[in-house]
């Protein structure tokens, strides 16, 4: 099992919270880090091979989410998808295919991001809402389904 710089970041975060970075959790983080968008538990289960039972997978995901290493995304068909948290993977937005359910990460320019933030701040102030995060969800058809 190779230790990447990602592993080191995660390890540090987890140990700071007294949480172990076990083999199963490493496998989940590795699988997510290779993905080009958030993945469902079922997709991860496939990726990881049949050795990892779904219940353990869900438990790993729960721990990683509570530790802030993994973030949740709720999408097509009510499925929960999981991705590496933005403080590690970087801030991004989502392209969601309404046909096949694929969710792909995309980044927008720093300028556009700044403009987006000002829109968010304005709208939030008006609504007495305290924003902590945001995501532009763009629905449509992906390359394969178009």
Q: What is the largest CA-CA distance in the chain?
A: 51
Q: How far is the CB of 116 from DNA (least distance, A)?
A: 28
Residue located via tokens 């499925």 = 79
Q: Which stretches of the chain bind DNA, using CB under 7 A?
A: 19-20, 22-25, 40-42, 51-56, 58-63, 78-80
Instruction: Rank residues 21 and 82 by Cβ distance to its own copies and give the closer one.
Output: 82
The helix (H) or strand (E) run that includes residue 6 is helix 5-16
Q: List binders of its own copies among 36-75 (CB under 8 A).
A: 74-75
Identify the CA nearest to 105 among candidates 77, 86, 120, 118: 86
87 binds its own copies (CB under 8 A): no
Binding site partner of 55, from its own copies, DNA, none, Cβ cut-off 5-8 A by kind: DNA
Q: How far apart are CA 144 and CA 146, in angstroms?
A: 6
Binding site partner of 19, from its own copies, DNA, none, Cβ cut-off 5-8 A by kind: DNA
Q: Cα 50 to the chain's mean position, in Å?
A: 22
124 binds its own copies (CB under 8 A): yes
Q: How far apart are CA 35 and CA 76, in angstroms?
A: 17
Please report, as ranges, the residues that interact with its own copies according to CB under 8 A. Answer: 74-76, 78-80, 93, 95, 97-98, 104, 106, 108, 112, 115-116, 119-120, 122-124, 126-143, 146
């Amino acid at each position: 099992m190779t230790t990447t710089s990602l592993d080191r970041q995660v390890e540090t975060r987890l140990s700071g919270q007294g949480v172990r970075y076990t083999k199963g959790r490493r496998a989940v983080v590795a699988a997510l880090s290779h993905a080009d968008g958030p993945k469902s538990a079922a997709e991860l289960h496939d990726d990881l091979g049949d050795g990892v039972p779904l219940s353990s997978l869900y438990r790993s995901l729960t721990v990683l989410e509570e530790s802030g290493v993994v973030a949740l995304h709720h999408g097509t068909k009510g499925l929960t998808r999981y991705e590496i948290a933005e403080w590690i993977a970087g801030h991004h937005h989502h392209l969601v295919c309404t046909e096949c359910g694929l969710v792909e990460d995309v980044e927008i320019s720093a300028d556009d991001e700044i403009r987006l933030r000002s829109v968010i701040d304005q709208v939030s102030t008006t609504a007495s809402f305290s924003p902590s995060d945001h995501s532009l969800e763009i629905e449509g058809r992906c390359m394969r389904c178009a």
